[in-house]
A = this chain, B = another copy of it.
Amino acid sequence: MPEQDKPIVTVDVVLLTLREESLHVALARREHEPHAGAWTLPGGWVHTDEDDDALAAAVRILKAKAGLESPYLEQLKTFASRHRDGRGWSVSIAHYALAPFDRAISESIEWRAVDAIRTLPFDHLEILHTAVERVRSKTGYSSLPVHLMPATFTLSELQRVYEQVLGTQLDKRTFRRRIEELDLVEPAAGARNEGAAHRPAQHYRVKRRFGRELALSDRTLG
């Protein structure tokens, strides 16, 4: 393959969180041309001397640009064409990541409400929309949103997060039955506030085995 025919290869990451009841995405300020100074999805070239694979590049970028270690991280889709970057034929192996808001605080990124973003450089708006669609679609039948939760939470809080991601209300009984079928959570010891006047809600945590993989239901969670 002649060197001049090799495309540019980058990894971009759509890092999503829930904040003020709506999905927010992390944007980073670009240091170099093109679009120097603009806010874009955090990303960068693959470092062939350093990154073992594309996932390792995404982990490196998340740590360097968002100060974030081991969030839920998955490959999204690859955007590869001659039109997406003025410098020539280029490949973005796009990933998406989910993290609770308090775990993803960094001075070098800015959080923007997904629904308020009208434009982004390159094809980053298309990448962002693809990620949000993927997360919403998986949310309907999987454990994906647990990666947005704090360490412990009530079932009502869990349902509220599913509803915020989906943008719709869910039936409480159906939701609880599906969560039970997914075998997703376990009671968190000590989190129950025993002495209160009203019987307080039980607190739960995500079962350890869901730290990395998804539980899938064959029905929607509504």
Contacts and interface: CB of A to CB of B under 8 A. Distances in A.
Contact of A218 (B4, B77, B88, B220): B220
Nearest to A53: B81
Contact of A93 (B3, B6, B78, B82): B78
B218 A91 contact: no
A46 interface: yes
Nearest to A222: B218
A114 interface: no
Contacts of A107: none
Q: Which of A9, A80, A88, A141 has the most CB of B within 10 A?
A: A80
Nearest to A89: B48
Contacts of A1: 8, 45
Q: Which of A7, A49, A75 has the most CB of B within 10 A?
A: A7
A1 B218 CA distance: 45
Contact of A7 (B4, B6, B75): B6
A52 interface: yes
A83 interface: yes
Given A5-B49, A6-B9, A52-B82, 12 more contacts: A1-B8, A3-B4, A3-B6, A5-B45, A6-B8, A6-B48, A7-B9, A46-B80, A54-B81, A75-B77, A140-B218, A218-B220
Interface of A: 1, 3-9, 45-49, 51-54, 75, 77-78, 80-83, 88-89, 91, 93, 140-141, 218-220
